[in-house]
Structure 1
Amino acid sequence: MVFGSGANVAAEGRRSSNAVQSDECRVQSANDLTAGPLRGSCPDTLHSSLCTRHFALASPQRPTNVAHECNNFGASGPRRCSYLGLMLFVFVAPTLLADEPNSVESSVSAAIESIRVEDLKVHIGTLASDTLQGREGGSAGGHAASAYLVQQLRRQGVTPAAAEQQFVQEFAGGMRNILASVPGRDERLRDEIVIVCAHFDHVGFGTPRNSRGPIGYIHNGADDNASGVASLLEVVEAVRSLPQPPRRTLLFAFWDGEEKGLLGSKHWIASPTRPLKQVKLVINSDMIGRLRP
């Protein structure tokens, strides 16, 4: 996870993490997210290789014909929940400090408790399933992923933050940023924006430039970056569970095209949906599937 000023929103941080600790993730159908089923092979396991460079992220998987249950998130699950809870506290608590301290602590603690490992499994299992074919930016799998995000954001009742009250900000190559906001409650501070973001695309079937292994197999991207996207979806839910919204406005941004050169965040900088001068803080969640003790 990377913290930065508004001026650095496009410079999504480099990774320094291990891979997703689950051996397998549930493969779920994307038929309800797209016009029809997507073709693809099913991996033995969902695995993201340890890497600190943007362009060498994925390991392809051997195809098999079985679906998998996500039964082994192991001891890392509670640690990840604590990590996500800390993330929530970091950007929510400062916006509540004008309230009664005991009330703040109680509200934020309850919101943190709403972040559940089982919900993370569902999000990661859906986004990293073979039916989404590696979520390459602009692909049918990428569109299915964006549809899933819109579905989840609508369920949480957050405000669409793209043009014309839409969640989707389209740009070149059929790519789509997904944007939602929680307006701040303080009239003096609601024009100050905190961006909380993650990219949802991955590398599809891989290319010599972005894959460490043979090309042509689905690169599921469970850690890169279904893990970061799952964290944002859970944080959205946690924020919505607070008795009142934060004092400043939160903009939740799910970038597309990151693997093609940070295209989604760059497009938002070129065509911002809020004035750039209003952005006070950017929190980027990327490859958080494994944490060292």
Structure 2
Amino acid sequence: MKKIIIAALLIAANLSVLAQKPIEKGLQSISEQSAKASINFLASDELEGREAGSRGGRVAGEYIVSMLRMMNLSPLGDSYYQPFEACHNQVAQKGKWQVHPDSIAQLKKGVYKHLQLNNILAKIEGKRTDEYVIVGAHYDHLGIDPTLAGDCIYNGADDNASGVSAVLQLAKAFLASGQQPERTIIFAFWDGEEKGLLGSSYFVQNCSFINSVKGYLNYDMIGRNSNEAKPQLVDYFYTEANAAFGEWLKNDIKKYKLKLEPIYHPWDKPVGGSDNGSFAKAGVPIIWYHTNAHPDYHQPSDHASRINWEKVVEITKASFLNLWNLANEKSY
């Protein structure tokens, strides 16, 4: 009798899983454990602050690619890597890093600085192969300053290992859903953001299908509290012309009981602050999650031990629902 009861319970449990909707399967795959695994590794001292072009930056890129391979996610092109070069005037205080070929050609006429960088790009192909949505986060940070007394490594746990963890979890969540999206989803990890949005700028400049990108979702710092008295606060920026973006989040917080208190920022030209700017300038509608500045911003003290793990998970869940709508809604 006992064996029969156990078997019945197992069958009921399996039927319950099978009865779940694809979107619920995706949500359940998002976990604090996965967030911790990525953030703790990327923000470890061994990666030396992940400065663009450095050894630590390359190791971070290899880690991301290994995770994409483990998920059996397809690269966007022939490789997960999108290599590009950036150049700078010899005088560090003058000018800025450039990725446009005309600017690079001009700089190479004189003495210049050079970096070889890599965006990392993967995809889940949609039913409509001529429409795309993109979710991205930069994986570089500030590196090491050996002249600093004491801790000289800018670990960048919040900025932006937290965002990278979310993109990885969203890829896993869409695979876990078992449902092919209507639009092709590109999962992007940008290099060189801290040096001037270099990776996302290069991608947009060289994207042959940029006019077919229906939306871009950006993460930059989603793991800390700007107001410790209100740990569920999050800034939610979105293109004002796409009012549905605001309604999606309001409805999903209520429906799925997400522990978030968003400050909604509809913005006519959301070009500032992070990689969303590269897409907004190209006319792509954007969503940007950001938990605002804190005392450890761009400091060596931006450690994983200070992350609000529940907030990272809740934002990742909310943005999974956003991306689900971006990928599947007929119009917005």
Tell me which interval the TM-score lies in, with the shorter structure as reference length: 0.5 to 0.7
- Alignment correspondent of 1:193: 132
Larger fraction in strand: 2
Flag structure 1 segments of 5+ consecutive residues without an equivalent: 1-102
Please give the secondary structure, in 2, of the residue aligned with 1:192: strand
C-alpha separation between the residues in 1 aligned to 2:68 and 2:31?
Answer: 17
Contact 1:258 1:265 survives alignment (8 Å): yes
In the superposition, relative to structure 1, how do residues 262 and 206 fare at CA in structure 2: closer, same or farther (>3 Å)?
farther
Higher relative contact order (CA 8 A, sep 6+): 1
CA distance in 2, matches of 1:247, 1:223: 32
After TM superposition, give the deviation of residue 290 of structure 1 in Å: 2.4
Q: 172, 194, 197: which one pairs with 1:237?
A: 172
TM-score normalised over the length of structure 1: 0.58
Higher helix share: 2
Q: Post-superposition, which runs of at least 4 consecutive aligned residues in structure 1 deviate over 3 A? A: 213-216
Alignment match, 1:166: 79
Contact 2:26 2:174 survives alignment (8 Å): yes
CA distance in 2, matches of 1:215, 1:266: 35
Confirm or deny: 8 A CA contact 1:184 1:190 kept in the other structure.
yes
TM-score by length of 2: 0.52
CA 1:207/1:195 → structure 2, altered by over 3 Å: closer, same or farther? farther
1:18-37 alignment, distance < 5 Å: none
Letter in 2 for 1:200: Y
Structure 2 residue runs of 5 or longer lacking an equivalent are 1-17, 86-114, 226-230, 233-332
The 3-state SS of whatever aligns with 1:154 is helix
- Alignment of 1:288 with 2:203, yes or no, is no
- State how far apart, in whole Å, the 1-side matches of 2:51 and 2:190 are: 12
Instruction: Report % sequence identity.
Output: 43
Q: Does residue 158 of structure 2 align to residue 223 of structure 1?
A: yes
Deviation at 1:105, TM superposition (A): 7.3
Alpha-carbon distance in 2 for matches of 1:204, 1:197: 21
Residues 207 and 215 of structure 1 are in contact (CA less than 8 Å); yes or no, is this contact kept in structure 2? no
- 2:46 — aligned with what? 131
Answer yes or no: is 1:260 the counterpart of 2:173: no
Mark the CA change 1:139 to 1:281 in structure 2 (over 3 Å): closer, same or farther: same
Larger Rg: 2
Q: Is residue 181 of structure 1 aligned with residue 123 of structure 2?
A: yes
Describe the SS at the equivalent of 2:217: strand
1:256–1:268 distance in 2 versus 1, CA, 3 Å:
same
Contact 1:170 1:177 in 2 (8 A): yes
Provide the rounded CA distance (Å) in 2 between the counterparts of 1:244 and 1:231: 20
Instruction: Return the alpha-carbon distance in structure 2 between the equivalents of residues 286 and 104 of structure 1.
Output: 35
